[in-house]
Structure 1
Amino acid sequence: MSVAKKTTSKISYSLLILVLVFEVIFIKLAYWQYGRMNEKESAFKAFSEQLNQKAVPFDKNVELKDWKVVTISGVFDYENEKLLQNRHYKTYVGYRVITPLMTDDGDYVMVDRGWIPKSWDRENPEVLEDKKGQVNFTGVVRNIPPKKTFIEGPLYGVTKRVIKRLDSTAFPMVSEYKNILIQATTSGNQNIRSFIEKPQTGAMHSEYMLTWSCLALILPTLYIALLYSRRRKPE
């Protein structure tokens, strides 16, 4: 076998290995996006189903599914209120106002009262307060996902009033409902925009899955076409 043929053979094997490596990567990425698509679709389906259900009183004996509509009453603890940073309203960046609520049973639960612009973190906290004493409102249950890593960045932002992620450790009084957040559908404060953060559908992940799947099909096709063209070349 000539030196040229040996070199060509080595290049072919190296190229085959490279193609196989990228093929595995593309397939895994497509499968990952497929899983993410199903997760998002399931979440959106649960969201649609639960919002069509009649509101039930918030109670520890009730199964608190994600997106369940509940009626709740209690007293807000404004002194321990936090601002969850980097939350969006349309194209604007701001905060979600997270206020602990002492329910009628004496247990505390975190309540997302709504969104405020970023500039409001410098305002007096009193301008965000709702009425004093007993409040009654309708909200949506959100289950806080468990931590995925043991190593996380700092919880607090520039001040102890600002938090970078939703974490019950920022609210020591919350013990019974550490993994529950209530998103209020309305706010008694005109400075706060209350709205439900709807889950996204799986459309975006479907597009990503299609992209990776196409690459997984195109790559071996190009490799086979390259081999075929080389074999047809005259010696």
Structure 2
Amino acid sequence: MYGFLLTRRWLGFALCVVLLTAICLRAGMWQMDKHDARVVDNAVARENLLADPVPLDDVVAPGEDVADDAEWSTVQVTGTYDPEHELTVKFSTRDGAPGVDVVTPLLLADGTAILVDRGWMQTANNNERPEDIQAPPQGEVDVVGWLRPDSEAGERAVTPYDGQVRAVSAATVSETVPQDLRSGYLELQEQTGGTGDLRPEPVPDLGQGPHFFYALQWWFFGLLAVIGFLWFAWSEARDRREARKGVAT
């Protein structure tokens, strides 16, 4: 009754279904891998955010990169801001409003510096660097902030142009700053004298994201392909059976 499945047309159909199902299964597994990675990252971030502030050197030493398990660590440093080499991160929005993040090097006692994202300010919706950036506090300041690794965005995004970038990476900014820059940067939360009109970075979203449901969708599509093939095969067999009955009568 199902001998037609061995014909060229149905074998080709079956091959397409197998390939489609394999792709859906693999895509679902990829989404689950992203989900699992998100869960691990969130656990690390949650632990680091709740920990008490520690000195920067206790988390990352000069010349070392920010480790994956150090992201969102709350660190404290003391230094002097260098507004001459300040940058803005353009196209940074908050609640749908256009703006920029203001990133200023903080000169440390050991002669190195670390970039500090002092906060966000609303600007006109254009590509221009704002002129009314609030100056950082003068003199030595105590800073507490969340440690972030360098952005992995493309070179054009992290290379300063007219005092602006689209993402922060000390590796490229170091070419425009006379001091040796520490890896990563700080998201300012507290400092001597307060943050002024700049809005500090909010607590990160620690939700699991849509990856789990995307995985279910991909697996559903794969199952749907198999069920569809079986239904078409059953329908074909039924039609052939009905046709034979008609000929017999």
Rg (Cα) greater in structure: 2
- Residue 143 of structure 1 corresponds to which residue in structure 2? 149
For the 8 Å contact 1:186–1:195, the answer to whether it is kept is no
Letter in structure 1 aligned against 2:117: D
**Shift in Å, 1:37:** 0.8
Look up the SS of the partner of 2:233 in the other structure: helix
Letter in structure 2 aligned against 1:170: V
Look up the SS of the partner of 1:209 in the other structure: helix
Aligned pair in 2 of structure 1 residues 103, 199: CA closer, same or farther (>3 Å)?
Answer: farther
Q: Does 1:194 align with 2:197?
A: no
- Residue 229 of structure 1 corresponds to which residue in structure 2? 235
Letter in structure 2 aligned against 1:161: G
- Residue 104 of structure 1 corresponds to which residue in structure 2? 109
> Of 67, 74, 80, which residue of structure 2 is paired with 1:75?
80
For the 8 Å contact 2:85–2:105, the answer to whether it is kept is yes
Letter in structure 1 aligned against 2:137: K
User: Within 2, Cα distance between the matches of 1:96 and 1:216?
Assistant: 44
Look up the SS of the partner of 2:59 in the other structure: coil
**Shift in Å, 1:114:** 1.1
> Of 104, 126, 131, which residue of structure 2 is paired with 1:124?
131
For the 8 Å contact 1:83–1:161, the answer to whether it is kept is yes
For structure 1, which runs of at least 5 residues remain unmatched after alignment? none
Letter in structure 1 aligned against 2:59: V
- Residue 219 of structure 1 corresponds to which residue in structure 2? 225
User: Within 1, Cα distance between the matches of 2:203 and 2:118?
Assistant: 12
User: Within 1, Cα distance between the matches of 2:31 and 2:173?
Assistant: 33
User: Within 2, Cα distance between the matches of 1:195 and 1:176?
Assistant: 21
For the 8 Å contact 2:151–2:169, the answer to whether it is kept is no
For the 8 Å contact 2:151–2:167, the answer to whether it is kept is no
- Residue 57 of structure 1 corresponds to which residue in structure 2? 55
User: Within 1, Cα distance between the matches of 2:158 and 2:211?
Assistant: 30
User: Within 2, Cα distance between the matches of 1:183 and 1:156?
Assistant: 19
Q: TM-score, normalised by structure 2?
A: 0.79
- Residue 8 of structure 2 corresponds to which residue in structure 1? 10
Letter in structure 2 aligned against 1:116: M
Aligned pair in 2 of structure 1 residues 137, 176: CA closer, same or farther (>3 Å)?
Answer: closer
- Residue 36 of structure 1 corresponds to which residue in structure 2? 34
**Shift in Å, 1:9:** 2.7
User: Within 2, Cα distance between the matches of 1:154 and 1:141?
Assistant: 20
Look up the SS of the partner of 2:90 in the other structure: strand
User: Within 2, Cα distance between the matches of 1:94 and 1:31?
Assistant: 38
